[in-house]
A = this chain, B = another copy of it.
């Protein structure tokens, strides 16, 4: 298919920036001898446009709490993100792009949370990013409901997601998108990279459903943008309409061309997941009028031009800080609460509040857990609970809680529906707010349904809390389909995941204390259905064994060098 190389609606300097992004991606994949050039080439113009004209960010302060969130759910297109981060002024030098996919670089094959400034969540395993973004959108709605006051928009950020065919095929995104539509999350905008190609070949091999109609069925606002990936007039119009929509999440189905501009590989799966080859890259550069001999070339003016979006973001953040200073005067208690949350302080005397279970009785640890939540949750406004439609069994709903719904953004209890996988991915998205703590329950046996998202939490050290009840054959008559047999062992096999199985009611209380006070990685609680006898041991002299367990890592520890140091507080 022959497509014009020129982007409609972009000035010359913008066009040059877009081409630079494409070539950095191609060059980095070529140098690494592995990676995915096709998606960055096809989506460069749209994502550049989003990034420069819509996304609110400050490269000097990548953790600004009111920044817009950018989620590359199609994480294999990581070089698109790294190119944008580098060119727009994040602390990601060109040398890091040259070290793409190398051991110890800040540019791993797929974006990893905590490794690279500006990477909001770990993506790569498909569909997860959509689930995460739904969680981020829930977090924003809740935070806005709690903290915004007349004249003080403390939280009004948006979520922008780039998703591919694979993301839309994975069940986790179906689950999360259905819930997002139900909740009317109008702060969520997905750009669907509709490029007709997957690894096996054309999408006609396996994916011919009407995707726009499916998202309409979920209750989303759906727009279809043609223009072969190059019509930024139509794309901008769609983004503006999506931002103006105040009732529904948005899907923009954006027709693009994988490997855009490659004479031999455009619109083929060859462009997806392997270097294009030196010869083809030269052909492409010639095609666009570039010097074919130059690699990793950033033409004059590109960085300066692309810095403008961040500079504008920095000015917005300055104004935000001014606003927040006044807010602190007007609402000191709310400001204090936020500061505590940022410092990972719960702001309560947890030992005082924890229930003490008297010796000589018997209670299921899931019920003890419910009693702990009843006692603590009224004092913990930044903890959001929920269950995947097993609320009466999981004992996750605390006394006095209200549901988080479209008409009640102050609710702190999430009705996830029978969607375990989405629940876990959504909780991960809530967790990366760095302010809210999510917990969610299901039967332990169904940990299997959410395992890919549990792993993402473990790899990324999201402080997500998984509540697994009915943790053994004590589950009883439901039978082996519902009995966890291997789940405890297999959860404990996940590096970084702390799995606590308290042996009685008082240990359950201590487990919750530990869980709420430790936010450096995810924690799973295994709780019984059946009653367990207990003795009183509320003042344990030694910390429980799990507090002394060494941490097992996916990769050798590296100082969280970039994004954490760059945190710039203004509140």
Using CB atoms and an 8 Å cutoff, list the residues of chain A in contact with chain B.
32, 34-35, 75, 101-102, 108-110, 112, 122-126, 165-166, 169-175, 178-179, 181-182, 198-200, 205-211, 213-214, 216-219, 387, 389-393, 403, 405, 415-419, 421-422, 445-446, 448-449, 451-452, 455-456, 459, 476-483, 485-486, 489-490, 493-495, 554-555
Interface CB pairs A-B, < 8 A, 20? A108-B480, A109-B478, A109-B482, A110-B481, A110-B482, A112-B479, A124-B479, A125-B445, A169-B417, A171-B172, A171-B422, A199-B391, A207-B417, A208-B219, A209-B218, A210-B218, A214-B218, A448-B455, A486-B493, A489-B493
Return A126 CB to nearest CB of chain B, in Å.
Answer: 6
B-chain residues with CB within 8 Å of residue A490 when the two chains form the complex: 486, 489-490, 493-494
Q: Which among B32, B102, B179, B481 is the interface contact of A125 at CB below 8 angstroms?
A: B481
Cβ contacts under 8 Å, A209 to chain B: 178, 181-182, 217-219
Q: Considering the complex, give the chain B residue whose CB is closest to the CB of A387.
A: B200
- Given A34-B476, A170-B171, A481 and B493 touching (CB < 8 A)? no
> Which residue in chain B gives the minimum CB-CB distance to A554?
B480
Q: A392-B199, A477-B32 are in contact. Are A169 and B419 (CB under 8 A)?
A: yes
B446 A459 Cβ-Cβ under 8 A: no
Residue of B nearest to A391 (CB): B200
Q: How far is the CA of A421 from the CA of B405 in the complex (A)?
A: 29
Does B486 contact A459, Cβ atoms closer than 8 Å? no
Give every chain B residue within 8 A of A482 (Cβ-Cβ). 109-110, 124-125
Q: Would you call B165 and A479 a contact (CB within 8 A)?
A: no
Q: Is A122 within 8 A of B481, CB to CB? A: yes
Would you call B174 and A477 a contact (CB within 8 A)?
A: no
| Assembly CA distance A391 to B452 (angstroms) | 21
Q: Which residue of B lies closest to A78 (CB)?
A: B479
Bound complex: CA of A122 vs CA of B481, how far in Å? 8
Instruction: Please tell me which one of the listed residues B110, B415, B449, B483 contacts residue A452 in the complex, with CB atoms under 8 A apart.
Output: B449
Q: Which residues of B contact A175 (CB under 8 A)?
A: 169-171, 174
Q: Which of A178, A200, A405, A485 has the largest number of chain B CB atoms within 10 A?
A: A200
Report how far A459 CA is from B485 CA in the complex, Å: 11
Docked CA distance A437–B421 (Å): 29
Give the shortest distance, in Å, between A185 (CB) and chain B (any CB): 13
Are B417 and A206 touching (Cβ within 8 A)? yes
Residue of B nearest to A173 (CB): B171
Query: A486 contacts which chain B residues (CB < 8 A)?
Result: 490, 493-495
Decide: A108 near B479, CB < 8 A? Known: A199-B392, A485-B495: yes
Chain B residues with CB under 8 A of A392: 199-200
